[in-house]
Structure 1
Amino acid sequence: MSDTNNPVPEPTPQDDAERIRLKRLAKLQSPSGPGALTPQPAATPSKNVAPSPSPAPLPPNPKPIPRPTPRASLRPAPPPVVARPLKRKAAVPLNLPVWEHQAVQDVLKVTLSKEVAEESGHDIVWLKSLAQDLASENGNVPEKLSIELVDKLLISRLKLDPLEMRHVSL
């Protein structure tokens, strides 16, 4: 009778854990195809077959490897996106004197041309006195504002009285 009692206590928590693990492996293999039928019978004699689950996990590993390969074939699609910046670089030539003129005019809100001030609704201030001074020095008023003129532009702009400008524009 002691022999019959020994087999009953043998299902230890470790054995139960192995049995549960084998059932889980069988469930994982069942959606993958016909291999699901083979692990289920192996799950019942789980007490005797401990090494058999080791070969069973190997087949599922190669199956996921082919699945990423189709995804990898989708990745070559982004290179056409790279072609767009090349078009942008060729389409945008930088004319430094024009950019410099526009930047100085936009930052200081000044101009040496009466027409530009009128077109902006006098948002851009016409520095008439500076334009006259530059014309007397150089013989003509520069067409474009530049960094070399920034100090003169700023001083001339600060000399203007905002109250007088209001009366002139009205």
Structure 2
Amino acid sequence: MPDVARFQSWVTYDVGRTARLVEEQVNLAPNTPDTWLQLVIVEKTTETVIGDTAIHFPDEDEEQQVEVGINLSPEYQHRGFAAEALQTLFGYLFDQLNKHRIIAITDTENQSAADLFRRLGFRQEGHFIENVWFKGAYGSEYLFAMLKREWDARPEHAANTKV
């Protein structure tokens, strides 16, 4: 779908390329340095795949920091699915893998993604002007981040961890 790929480095995936990606991902362990791990988002009631999240585990020098991304089919956008998927992912990264910092980089034209990260408590740390050559033109990006201590301090997190 061109509208889903608009802000992604990929354009389309044919069946062969998709099969290779799935095969690579099946055998990829979380926390493997210098890898991207894709996790599908499934709508619970229909068991339909509606998108995916991505986690970039940088090299070993930055092992306590990860980058995340998300793709969601247009018909499922603006319905809370992305927020739910990302909050679940953040819980896994902060509470299970004990990551110190999560970042997200969005195209400045992708206002929905920028608004989503702000709503989830991320702080905008940067606005890079025409910093990346992307699909035939220079693009601008926002950098968002959240620290583990900020995640832990959220009222809804604190309420879930009290004994």
Larger Cα-atom Rg: 1
Higher strand residue share: 2
- Which has the bigger relative contact order, CA under 8 A and spacing at least 6? 2
The question of a shared fold, defined as TM-score above 0.5 by the shorter chain, is answered with: no
TM-score range, shorter chain: under 0.3
